[in-house]
Amino acid sequence: MSWLETSTENCTVQRTLELIGEKWSLLVLRDAMNGVRRFDDFRRHMGLSEAVLADRLRKLVAVGILEAVPYRESGARTRHEYVLTEKGWDLWSVLIALKQWGDRHAADPEGAPWEVRHRGCGEEIGVLAYCEAGHGPLSPPEAEGRPGPAARPVPVPQTAS
């Protein structure tokens, strides 16, 4: 079965984009990975409306990427901090890859406004592709796509009789 013969109805890229593919969701994740936890801090830093932010936080909590943890300051009502779950932290390399691409193709002439560096040596962190056996880094010509165990054929259109 070739790629064009494979149905995309259960594509994991498509499913992932349904969960996090919206701009503000990715920016919430970026801020959460940089230590932002509270609603007002997200809103102030990103400059988006309360309604949009509340919607994105609610969706990210519903799919288990963020966890809403209650807190209460003296004399105030109970509120929530939004903390990345393990599932959320698994998206770290995705954001690093987006940042890496953006630094190369969409950055300001002055350079990147956000750096992510290795605490141990101070060098910039990047994402490279490796196979499960440890070969790499790999380039696109060294990889091949093929149908996986959940691949389904493209449905054949029904003809009218």
Which of 9-18, 53-62, 82-91 is least confident? 9-18
pTM of the model: 0.86
Whether pLDDT at 146 is above 70: yes
Partnered with residue 43 across adjacent β-strands are none
How distant is the alpha carbon of residue 122 from its chain centre?
24
* Token couple for 111: 């350079």
Name the more confident of 157 and 31.
31
Tens-digit pLDDT profile for residues 22-46: 999 999 999 999 999 999 999 999 9
pLDDT at 161: 65
- CA pair distance 48, 42, nearest whole angstrom: 8
Give me the mean pLDDT over the 57-83 stretch. Answer: 96
Does domain 3-142 match CATH 1.10.10.10?
A: yes
Whether pLDDT at 160 is above 90: no
Give me the mean pLDDT over the 52-69 stretch. Answer: 97
